[in-house]
């Protein structure tokens, strides 16, 4: 798919030599040679998607830098009175710990869109974000640059399913998201909890999963049991519905699910009326469902 006008497209790849080491300019003559800059004149990216830095890992990197120096220069944006980091914040932090007075940088002059996009993709490609930070980075690429999920997937070298599943984590209660950040829950546990719409109940299940060390399968089983109980209770509270119609509704539910490609629920109030619920997990998916329904006209 062609890059969206105004984005970086494969231009980002022309900047990157070794994605495991961060952004390294492939052609210093074209992009500018490294220069030494006062470390106190450099500031972190205010929109850095990564919020958590492992202190032990930074100490280890600082020791390595003391011995070998900074092999890959930082990439910075000239802000006039200071330089803002585009790529290499871990190296900058480690250099400060190591007591460096100056660090090598390559100074860039980018548009704000290029600046944000490189910062996000650099972090994503080097897999230094936790699942929530990564999901927020994907969401920013979509919201700020009007990219579609498959375009984001192409730019960060991940599958579209990975992008969709990551974005679904942002629907979780903030307390549950924090447990993912703190490594108290896996993304597998968290995705299972998306079946629960009540935020407090989500958090209650998250704590239960952590305290009792439940597997993902255990959590899925417990949630399924809970939802079945709620569904049974709901059925008992509804008006009289012909038992024979229940099978009809179930069959219709499965047919709609097959046609729309997502979960569909028919909640009958009585023999004549009810409510049809169609689930979606992203703006793209909603648009797809709307387009599908419009085509039936």
Q: Give the C-alpha separation, 36 to 155, whole Å.
A: 31
Q: Are 29 and 22 in contact (CB under 8 A)?
A: no
Q: Give the C-alpha separation, 124 to 146, whole Å.
A: 18
Q: How many other β-carbons are positioned within 10 Å of the β-carbon of residue 100? A: 19
Q: Are 203 and 175 in contact (CB under 8 A)?
A: yes
Q: Give the C-alpha separation, 159 to 163, whole Å.
A: 7
pLDDT of residue 251: 77
| Residues making up the chain, counted from first to last | 297
Q: Which residues are catalytic?
A: 89
pLDDT of residue 32: 63
Q: Give the C-alpha separation, 55 to 52, whole Å.
A: 9
pLDDT of residue 156: 81
pLDDT of residue 171: 94
Q: Give the C-alpha separation, 214 to 284, whole Å.
A: 33
Q: Are 30 and 133 in contact (CB under 8 A)?
A: no
pTM of this structure: 0.56
pLDDT of residue 154: 86
List average pLDDT for each run of 10 residues in the chain, which is 297 residues long: 36 35 36 84 76 75 90 88 87 92 90 76 70 88 86 86 93 94 92 90 91 90 80 56 70 78 75 77 80 77
pLDDT of residue 240: 55
Q: Are 223 and 196 in contact (CB under 8 A)?
A: yes
């Amino acid at each position: 798919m062609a890059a969206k006008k105004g984005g970086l497209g494969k231009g980002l790849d022309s900047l990157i030599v070794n994605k495991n080491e961060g952004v390294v300019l492939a052609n210093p003559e074209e992009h500018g040679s490294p220069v030494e800059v006062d470390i106190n004149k450099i500031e972190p990216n205010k929109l850095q998607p990564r919020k958590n830095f492992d202190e032990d890992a930074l100490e280890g990197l600082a020791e390595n830098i003391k011995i070998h120096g900074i092999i890959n220069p930082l990439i910075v944006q000239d802000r006039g009175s200071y330089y803002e980091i585009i790529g290499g914040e871990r190296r900058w932090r480690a250099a400060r710990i190591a007591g460096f007075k100056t660090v090598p940088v390559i100074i860039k002059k980018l548009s704000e869109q290029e600046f944000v996009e490189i910062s996000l993709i650099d972090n994503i490609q080097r897999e230094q974000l936790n699942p929530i930070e990564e999901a927020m980075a994907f969401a920013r690429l979509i919201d700020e640059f009007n990219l579609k999920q498959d375009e984001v997937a192409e730019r960060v070298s991940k599958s579209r399913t990975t992008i969709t599943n990551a974005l679904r984590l942002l629907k979780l209660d903030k307390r549950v998201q924090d447990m993912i950040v703190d490594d108290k829950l896996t993304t597998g546990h968290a995705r299972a909890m998306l079946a629960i719409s009540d935020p407090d109940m989500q958090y209650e299940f998250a704590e239960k999963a952590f305290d009792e060390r439940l597997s993902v399968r255990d959590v899925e089983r417990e949630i399924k049991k809970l939802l079945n109980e709620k569904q049974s209770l709901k059925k008992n509270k509804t008006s009289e519905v012909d038992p024979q119609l229940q099978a009809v509704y179930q069959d219709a539910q499965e047919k709609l699910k097959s046609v729309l490609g997502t979960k569909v629920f028919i909640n009958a109030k009585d023999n004549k009326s009810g409510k049809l619920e169609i689930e979606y997990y992203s703006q793209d998916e909603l648009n797809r469902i709307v387009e599908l329904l419009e085509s039936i006209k």
